[in-house]
Copies of this chain bind each other. A is one copy, B any other.
Amino acid sequence: METVIDQNQLLVKMALDAWNAQVNHTSKLLSSLSDEQLQNEVAPGRNRGIYLVGHLAAVNDKMLPLLNFGAQKFPQWSEAFLNKADRELEVLPTIAEIRNFWSDSCAELSKHFASLTANDWFERHTSVSAEDFVKEPHRNKLNVVIGRTGHLAYHLGQLNFLKK
C-alpha cells in the first residue's frame, strides 16, 4: 500500500511541477509586459493580450467547480472570456482587473491543490459520472490539470509575441 502512495505522490509532483512551471512562465511574462503591450494583438488579426490573459484566468476559475473546490470566484467574466471571442463584447474588465484575475485565479488553485492528498488527485472530476468513471478512471482530477497545462502552454507561446 505504501508503494502505491509513493508512486502516486511522484506522479502528482511531476504533473503539478509541469503546471507550476507554465504558470510561473506566464506570470513572469505578464510582469514584464506593459499595459500598452497587453492591449496589442499577439499577431495581426489575432487575439489581444488582454483577451488571452482573461481567457486563461477564466479557464482557471472554471477549474474550481470542475475539481470540486467550490464555486467560481469570477463567474461574471466567463461570458466575455469563454463564450465570446475577443472584441465581441464592448465592455471588458480593466487591464488591472485582468492582471488580478490571472494572479488571483492561480493563487486560488494553488491553495486548493495544496490541500489534496496524492490519492485525492485520482478521484473523478465533477463532469464525469461515477458510472463512467468506473470504466474511464483516467478522467480524474490530475488529468484535468495535465490537460490545462497544455492549454496554458499553447497560449503562452502566443502571448510571448507581445514582447519586443
- Chain A positions near chain B (C-beta within 8 angstroms): 3-4, 7-8, 10-11, 13-15, 17-18, 21-22, 42-44, 46, 122, 137-138, 140, 142-143, 146-147, 149-151, 153-158, 161
Contact = CB atoms under 8 A, between A and B. Distances in A.
The 7 closest A-B pairs by CB, nearest first: A154-B157, A43-B43, A157-B157, A153-B153, A150-B153, A11-B11, A153-B154
A138 to B, nearest CB: 5
A133 B110 CA distance: 27
Contacts of A142: 11, 14
A122 B153 contact: no
Contacts of A4: 3-4, 7
Contacts of A11: 7-8, 11, 142
Residue in A11, A143, A149, A155 whose Cβ sees the most chain B Cβ within 10 Å: A11
